[in-house]
Amino acid sequence: MSYQPPLEQFEFCQQQPELAYFDSAASCQVPQSVLTKLLDYYQHQHANVHRASYARGRAATQCYEQARRDCAQAIGATAAQVSFQASTTSALNGLAQQLPVAWQAGDEILLSSAEHHANILPWQRLAAQHDLRLRFISLDRASGELGEWQHLLGPRTKVVSLTLASNITGTRFALEPILAAAQQQGAWTIVDAAQAVAHEQLAVTQLGADAVVFSAHKAYGVAGCAVLWLSQALLAASEPFTVGGGIVTGVTKSHANLVTGIHKFEAGTPNVGAAVAAASGLAWLQQQQQLGLHDYLQALRQQLWQQLQQRAWLTLLPTGKQHTPVIAFYSDEFQAHDIATWLDQHQIAVRAGHHCAQILLQDWQLPAVVRVSLAAYNTPAQIERLVAALDAGWQLFAD
């Protein structure tokens, strides 16, 4: 492995060198350069953006709009089509409520069984409001890939909303054919890229989606900001997700004239600091990818996969042909939460449970699984520590 994990760029690696953090699919740790950028904004430019008549306010606006341009460039888009939202969850809720669809009872929304709850609950609520039908593409239990979908996409399908990668198995799904077929028949298409953004160079205009969204804290940024890209068609046709200050040209007692363009989705005071950090995190990630991060993490994942496969008391979930550096497993002998607690006692942080993806685990009849997700600060030595701790637990408790 020629890539050298930049441990010196993460404060937690210096303060807690004994901690092996394997929960980056939930939230990445933040590089010092991103934190420095965030602090610099608050110390030297922070003010309320837009419409400010003073220099510091103009500086804050410049920071915010530059962050938009930088995030757009990172995903192969133009700034005029990129909105900052509070989170992926918030963006998906906004899309569900404001999609330009004249809903009729019996219309259909197509999801997959791999969706995070954030991409299920908004559609469930919408379905209850309009008497709609949710349909789900199943996952193949042997391969982890999406199953047959052609028979689920019909004339009543108005929306297709799918995750680009599973947050449990790590499978990177081949969505492009599904999205192309959906758009051909006039359905709106949405991609939740939260689990993919840290592990591939997103090219949003090539996915065939009308909306792509991801949270910055999944890509070495901080919480409080999601990047939402909208196609020109959806941007023009959609109403604002929320209304309030910052998106009007004029207001009377009975009416408000709203701005057009991407800013209509950003009512209220935005989280400028988190947007600045999002752009900085994506820039840091791109630099690391150029240094070989992707191949390094895939090699780490393969090291762990081979080790876990040798433990007969563990069962690994399938990960598909393409995958992020995520592995999930379970044991018939031990509960997932007990395994995670044991590892925590050895300064190893993993996540156990249903991972906000209960439908998939219900389909596979699993109550909970342990998930290990890798990032730039993980090392081969940490993989060996994880495996050794699992073996120690097995030897201690198996009898």
356 is catalytic: yes
* 8 Å CB contact between 387 and 58: no
For residue 104, count other CB atoms closer than 10 A to its CB. 11
Domain architecture of the chain: domains with CATH? 7-30+292-397 (3.90.1150.10), 34-287 (3.40.640.10)
Would you put residue 169 in left (φ > 0), alpha (ψ -120 to 50) or beta? alpha
Pairwise CA distance, residues 173 & 88, whole Å:
19
**Closest among 122, 160, 163, 124 to 146, alpha carbons compared:** 163
Residue 1 has pLDDT above 60, yes or no: no
Pairwise CA distance, residues 370 & 353, whole Å:
7
Task: Provide the mean pLDDT of the chain.
Answer: 97
Residue 352's alpha-carbon distances to 113, 168, 336, 356, in angstroms, are: 19, 10, 6, 11
Q: What φ, ψ does residue 68 adopt, rounded to 5°?
A: -65, -45
The predicted-structure confidence for 81-95, as pLDDT tens digits, reads as follows: 999 999 999 999 999
The pLDDT of residue 398 is: 77
Pairwise CA distance, residues 232 & 65, whole Å:
19
For residue 64, count other CB atoms closer than 10 A to its CB. 22
The predicted-structure confidence for 307-352, as pLDDT tens digits, reads as follows: 999 999 999 999 999 999 999 999 999 999 999 999 999 999 999 9
Pairwise CA distance, residues 373 & 294, whole Å:
13
